[in-house]
Structure 1
């Protein structure tokens, strides 16, 4: 693996800490220190702004804009794109001391420290500002987003004089004048605004999608027990208050801004905020996160770097999504940046869903409900591509296809088959028959109809498959018989037929005739899966074995990310792989393959993978652990958990790799824990990295929560329930209960 860590943050098991200010690393740090509560998210930009390079991003789930790209003149090519739009900056601040404005890029500072507490979600930044007159003011900026009441947030600023004696001015603003950096435009039309001495509000609508957002704030300031007077002001797209305070050595002033951000008018928002305080949100968040860590924490003994890494991943996963609202989805960057336009991709079902299935089933169900709610748009997309049924978009916010790159939007079927997989694994784990009957079956039927019209028969009429497609690899386009696409197509046909057979009346309900079912059955049976019998290797697509070879380890670090340094067509002209393709379906349906097949395919494809996708390292680590390649498994594991913390892909500044964060959880539970959920019984084959003293994780099941405690020589398993649960451990059946079960780790797994 050619990529290396770019270590910057202090290692701490429960915090992310920045010990100095480096302007060159500012945008990376903004992503790392991003806060979110599923509804709203803010990057870790400086409250006071300044001239430091920044992506000052404030985003809301469900608030998006649309741009017309002009007609391409071809049917099926997307002419409109939708994107999560940069919204109100409710944290905007100006700090002025004796006429000098605070700007970290220009001012002298001392004792800089910024920290993110993973137990509370409190982001704190503090430093001493040495003014041009060589006097010092200690400043502390704190911010919190409420995890329970997701429309609420609080900002706290403390200014303490060290040896400053003069006038300090603090402006607290809410600013709709934000420039969406991806498009270099402002997308807000302000509807109303007002600013008084104790409160401000401002409301605006997006100019194309007409989505409304209201931001109201209650403010207060005090110095040494005395309430400070403020003056309100409004500008074109701003509403704010300004405080003036005389600050003397040893004295301090504290300013608090409580904010309510909502997508509808709420007449009593000020009354609601009167019951909110910095302390109350902090306490509620501490309780909320305490429950998260009780249910979802992964403890690693003897490795603080990866302990920090996996906790950060779980923290950001829960910030991005925890099932607060049915129909929300997970963008590729969550609410942390504008790359990928805030769109959701096929990895929602294949990477994120397993995390929620075993940590938060309500969230898992709500993720799938997004696909049901947008089924109508998927059917329109299928029609545009000359197919029947439903063709789910490769990138979407509202359910419409948002990718204007035809080779992705029209050639990738994995969003649709990913939905089918998500329904299948959800049913397998939860046994939720009602979901299948009310939602899942209809989606499966429409996806199968698309698959039956998107594919075709070979010239001799004996084999069925998909022509001119792009698989998960994405470094190969317009290929025939991509093995992943064909494999998942076959699976979807078989599973849909099984659902129709097991649930009486569904075929009639969705007008699936016996002739249509027979057609799906024939196509599934005739599906072509390119495979070399002698080497036991699945060919990624027809002709892949004949492609020119590239030594991926010889590519200089300076050429990453490749999309920025290689011409677009160059990446398609060789056997280099962006992310797992064959190995991906061998993980999703792991029990269907022999150890010999897994080993042969891993050793063939792993050296070809450049890991240009953040989704890649976890899959390799999980399979390497299964194949007892312990060093490789551990190396890939560190890459996965610290992908963003150590800026492996040199693009963390664009936002966090949210779905790879979920994959990092899989990396431990499915990797070292050896859990497999694709067969009839939940199975485990734990192993332990040589540098660890042990690790512990939990998974939620129908019968209770299983606690898996892996030590150097044994596995201890307990079921938090008064019921029992049957599992496989190293291939042997065990009945778990509230009484601890101890199992020695076999020599071959040590």
Structure 2
């Protein structure tokens, strides 16, 4: 554990006391979002210490030209930067002409901040002595409205404690913004118009290259001791910046408050010529409601989200805080309203990784959204990939594939591959399998086959064509092999016959063949349309079947396990527990060459296959593979602990399962990987949800029914969760003594518990 300054609390993230070393980490941890925009928890007032400024608009990006020494054919032209957007939260504060800056104050006598996850707001309060001797108490509340999702609100309260003073507030907008991670130091934004009208101001700007037009807007007014003032601001305009200066003399003990509404309108959602008009409409609605009523609506919106998605844990505050933090951030990042959007690995909390989606969405996030929202949300995530099919085919063509073969991108904003690490972009092809698995998982859970018939079959055909062309026939082995890949374990590059890759390739082909027959039998019109469009023939499907039948899987007779890749046993197999602590994490302490030659596994690889396809293997086989691979796993990917927690729970190793759960749920809160300052690990947070529901709850879909094998860690008194299964909402509560099931609505539902059939009636509790 690397940090321990967050106060344990069931519903809030709390930091008490000011430490400049924690500022950038806290900017990540206290981030806000509402699905349409988000921001790091930067201070509103000026701060001259180390800070990572970050505001983000969903779906707005910049194609930063790839920077490499040696260009290779097929290399992505650009890396999609999640853009740091114009800043609307800024408020300069001057007391008798002295700026308020926590980095230059003579003394900070009190500092506390809270992210209230239950109600969706962020508060910061502090007391300071300025260099000019004035003592201040400051209390700031900020939130991004879930109702008016283009609007955020700030209530900035300041009290002079020891003297009367002249206070100057300068709320401002700033579009002179750069990304920290720019490849070429390009200018990403072009400011085209700056306007102020009374208490309002607007900056129109567009992104370079991608030409997303935006209007960043604000409106402000002041209150003295709760009474609204009729103070007229003066305009302060600079290059790419506009501020409105308010001045007020206050007496000792008076409280002066600045209310500020702000946000973005974007050409993704409105005609570019209407952006200012829509911004004014947003401001009108926000100011008419007022900050308090808007906050009440915020609390109601979050209450509805928690009603469906909350997980309760009794007896373990840190575990409770961890899971709620994960659920909260997932809902801040993606609400499923817009099928053009997806779930970025950093969400609205940082710039690292770029792109709006990885294979994380299909492998980890879809189960969370299927179970905690209506099924249309998960379907939107699948439609996102269908809408990018043509681009996926283009991606494959650039690498020399033909006949409609598709390679889905490792990282993308618009369907084009935009990841600029060769060994991942071109070798981590297993992501294609995650696209197919997500379809299988969606149908298994929702029972909705229409997606596969209407859209999914086309995707499956394109993926199967890719696997057929990517496999090579090995004469010595008399098998098909897949060479030169990187599996989920990114600490092995350019290996041959990664077991997980080969296995999911074989499964994809077989699954596609099954769906072809199923669509032909049950949806003949869709079948004829798809066959006509793809020009698929029986000769081609026979060729696929041959590859699937003869797929090679490396295996060790000595250890009775599938080998992660052909050369795994050639490594010096020293368990990770034998590494000196000073060598961890190895990705920060070792050279890449040393990592690649080591046996150390970044995240579940072979075990990822055992997680996806657990029905294909016996409990004994899982145990053998878990015991062989977990000791070499260093869990330096955020996606690793959750899979291992689920599997440890299945093996009834509850202490180990609990340790992995705590690590995945508090990965960012406790900063296990020493990198939270760069942003949060949003997509792995869905894996945290799975580690409780699928791990401890043992929830599976079997024979079209929900099945449970509940277990409970000894550190907990009880836990509960809800799932929406085929439009029926089921609450599961597990205690040390029993498990109970509550079914909402009037319908009956049949489930299995520990293998036994149980019939649930609506509005009745069944306790076992």
Would the TM-score normalized by the shorter structure come out above 0.5? yes
Maintained 8 Å contact 2:59/2:356: no
1:61 aligned onto 2:58: yes
Maintained 8 Å contact 1:588/1:678: no
Taking the aligned partners of 1:309 and 1:290, their CA distance within structure 2 comes to 19
Maintained 8 Å contact 2:743/2:762: yes
Shift, 1:454, TM fit? 1.1
Change (3 A) 1:611 1:288: same
Taking the aligned partners of 1:96 and 1:302, their CA distance within structure 2 comes to 47
1:387 aligned onto 2:401: yes
Normalization by structure 2: what TM-score?
0.94
Corresponding residue SS for 2:684: helix
- Describe how 1:708-719 pairs up with structure 2 within 5 A: 708-719=732-743
Maintained 8 Å contact 1:196/1:232: no
Which residue does the alignment assign to 1:590? 614
Compare 521-530 and 448-457 and name the one that shifted more: 521-530
Maintained 8 Å contact 1:67/1:80: yes
Taking the aligned partners of 2:763 and 2:91, their CA distance within structure 1 comes to 56
- Describe how 1:444-459 pairs up with structure 2 within 5 A: 444-459=460-475
Taking the aligned partners of 1:584 and 1:679, their CA distance within structure 2 comes to 23
1:527 aligned onto 2:551: yes
Maintained 8 Å contact 1:176/1:204: yes
Taking the aligned partners of 1:69 and 1:688, their CA distance within structure 2 comes to 48
Compare 179-188 and 381-390 and name the one that shifted more: 179-188
1:98 aligned onto 2:114: no
1:435 aligned onto 2:435: no
Change (3 A) 1:703 1:127: closer
Normalization by structure 1: what TM-score?
0.96
1:272 aligned onto 2:296: no
Which of 689, 701, 704 is residue 665 of structure 1 equivalent to?
689
Shift, 1:539, TM fit? 0.8
Maintained 8 Å contact 1:465/1:528: yes
Which residue does the alignment assign to 2:271? none
User: Aligned Cα RMSD in Å?
Assistant: 1.7
Corresponding residue SS for 1:470: coil
Post-superposition CA distance 1:615-670 (Å, at most 9, x none): 11111111111101111111111101111011111111110001111111001001
- Describe how 1:81-96 pairs up with structure 2 within 5 A: 81-96=79-94
Shift, 1:133, TM fit? 3.2
Maintained 8 Å contact 1:163/1:248: no
Taking the aligned partners of 2:485 and 2:131, their CA distance within structure 1 comes to 62
1:311 aligned onto 2:324: yes
Taking the aligned partners of 2:415 and 2:642, their CA distance within structure 1 comes to 28
Which residue does the alignment assign to 2:655? 631
1:605 aligned onto 2:629: yes
Maintained 8 Å contact 1:703/1:725: no
Taking the aligned partners of 1:441 and 1:288, their CA distance within structure 2 comes to 37
Compare 382-391 and 661-670 and name the one that shifted more: 382-391
Taking the aligned partners of 1:555 and 1:57, their CA distance within structure 2 comes to 37
Shift, 1:724, TM fit? 2.3
Maintained 8 Å contact 2:341/2:356: no
Taking the aligned partners of 2:531 and 2:66, their CA distance within structure 1 comes to 42
1:200 aligned onto 2:201: yes
Which residue does the alignment assign to 2:192? 191
Which residue does the alignment assign to 1:373? 387
Corresponding residue SS for 1:78: coil
Shift, 1:680, TM fit? 4.2
Taking the aligned partners of 1:199 and 1:423, their CA distance within structure 2 comes to 48
1:320 aligned onto 2:333: yes
Which residue does the alignment assign to 2:164? 165
Shift, 1:281, TM fit? 2.3
1:263 aligned onto 2:286: no
Which of 534, 539, 543 is residue 567 of structure 2 equivalent to?
543
Which of 245, 250, 258 is residue 247 of structure 1 equivalent to?
250
Shift, 1:36, TM fit? 0.6
Shift, 1:326, TM fit? 0.7
Post-superposition CA distance 1:184-232 (Å, at most 9, x none): 5541110111123310000111122221111121211122423322112
Which of 416, 422, 431 is residue 415 of structure 1 equivalent to?
431
Corresponding residue SS for 2:595: helix
Shift, 1:549, TM fit? 2.2
Corresponding residue SS for 2:326: helix
Maintained 8 Å contact 1:493/1:521: yes
Which of 327, 330, 336 is residue 343 of structure 2 equivalent to?
330
Which residue does the alignment assign to 1:363? 377
Q: Number of paired residues?
A: 741
Change (3 A) 1:148 1:440: farther
Compare 231-240 and 39-48 and name the one that shifted more: 231-240
Maintained 8 Å contact 1:708/1:717: yes
Change (3 A) 1:337 1:272: closer
Post-superposition CA distance 1:687-711 (Å, at most 9, x none): 0111211111111111511111101
Shift, 1:25, TM fit? 1.0
Which of 647, 654, 658 is residue 671 of structure 2 equivalent to?
647
Taking the aligned partners of 1:556 and 1:344, their CA distance within structure 2 comes to 36
Maintained 8 Å contact 1:493/1:524: yes
Post-superposition CA distance 1:374-408 (Å, at most 9, x none): 11111111011112311011111221111111111
Which residue does the alignment assign to 2:365? 352
Post-superposition CA distance 1:333-363 (Å, at most 9, x none): 1110011124421111001111111112222
Taking the aligned partners of 1:723 and 1:518, their CA distance within structure 2 comes to 45
Which of 340, 343, 354 is residue 341 of structure 1 equivalent to?
354
Taking the aligned partners of 1:137 and 1:594, their CA distance within structure 2 comes to 66
Taking the aligned partners of 1:452 and 1:436, their CA distance within structure 2 comes to 21
Maintained 8 Å contact 1:411/1:470: yes
Taking the aligned partners of 1:290 and 1:643, their CA distance within structure 2 comes to 25
Maintained 8 Å contact 1:218/1:270: no
1:51 aligned onto 2:75: no
Taking the aligned partners of 2:175 and 2:584, their CA distance within structure 1 comes to 35
Taking the aligned partners of 1:326 and 1:79, their CA distance within structure 2 comes to 25
Which of 536, 560, 563 is residue 587 of structure 2 equivalent to?
563
1:36 aligned onto 2:36: no
Which residue does the alignment assign to 1:175? 174
Unmatched runs of 5 consecutive residues or more in structure 2: 268-273
Which residue does the alignment assign to 1:152? 151
Maintained 8 Å contact 1:615/1:660: yes
Which residue does the alignment assign to 1:748? none
Taking the aligned partners of 2:767 and 2:619, their CA distance within structure 1 comes to 23
Maintained 8 Å contact 2:395/2:408: yes
Post-superposition CA distance 1:522-563 (Å, at most 9, x none): 211111222335644121111212211244234455555433
Taking the aligned partners of 2:614 and 2:761, their CA distance within structure 1 comes to 27
Compare 511-520 and 314-323 and name the one that shifted more: 511-520
Taking the aligned partners of 1:558 and 1:186, their CA distance within structure 2 comes to 40
Taking the aligned partners of 1:394 and 1:476, their CA distance within structure 2 comes to 17
Taking the aligned partners of 1:413 and 1:147, their CA distance within structure 2 comes to 37
Maintained 8 Å contact 1:59/1:84: yes
Taking the aligned partners of 1:481 and 1:119, their CA distance within structure 2 comes to 47
Taking the aligned partners of 1:604 and 1:615, their CA distance within structure 2 comes to 19
